[in-house]
Amino acid sequence: KHRLIFTRLWQTFEKLCSVAHACGTYIAIEWPTGCTYWKNKEVKALIERYNLQPVKFHGCALNLKVTHGKHKGKFLKKPWTIYTDCPNVRDVFVNKLCQRNHEHAECRGEVCKNTESYSPDYVACLHTAFKKATQPN
């Protein structure tokens, strides 16, 4: 059932990407780096069709932390990837990698559920990138 829903959503997303590309608007896809959708043939085809480039980054570099439980306050290294044709998005996230100067909680179980929301730093970076992308040169 989950895959059927993904297929429907993806088909709609492909149509939106076609319209966005025709209008000169940027495209971005973001999932955890290890997400199986990255291996999906339709996803790979869309990435190739629009020449989307990857940027990989870590949640801990964007202040992603456990919000409750015995590991509250510990960083989560959660690896993310964005494929995009927006250079501003790549520029903002490219250096957001773990500096290895802190401890991490394991990103599993209830702690992993915690990572479904974005940290304020993640949101701020994305908004900064989109703002730069929409400003005239």
**Structure confidence at residue 31 (pLDDT):** 94
- In the beta sheet, which residues pair with residue 65? 75
**Structure confidence at residue 109 (pLDDT):** 76
Element (H, E) at 82: strand 79-84
Instruction: Give per-residue pLDDT as tens, 115-135.
Output: 777 889 999 999 999 999 988
Distance CA 80, CA 71 (A): 21
Instruction: Give per-residue pLDDT as tens, 30-84.
Output: 999 999 999 999 999 999 999 999 999 999 999 999 888 888 899 999 999 999 9
Nearest to 67 by CA among 56, 59, 57, 58: 59
Start-to-end C-alpha separation, the chain? 46
Tell whether the torsion through CA atoms of 113, 105, 29 and 136 is positive or negative.
Answer: positive
Which tokens sit at 92? 């903002």
114 in Cβ contact with 63 (< 8 Å): no
**What pTM did the predictor assign?**
0.91
Q: Using pLDDT thresholds of 50, 70 and 90, give the confidence band for residue 114.
A: low
DSSP of 18-71: HHHHHTT---EEEEETT-GGGG-HHHHHHHHHTT-EEEEEEGGGGT-B--SSTT
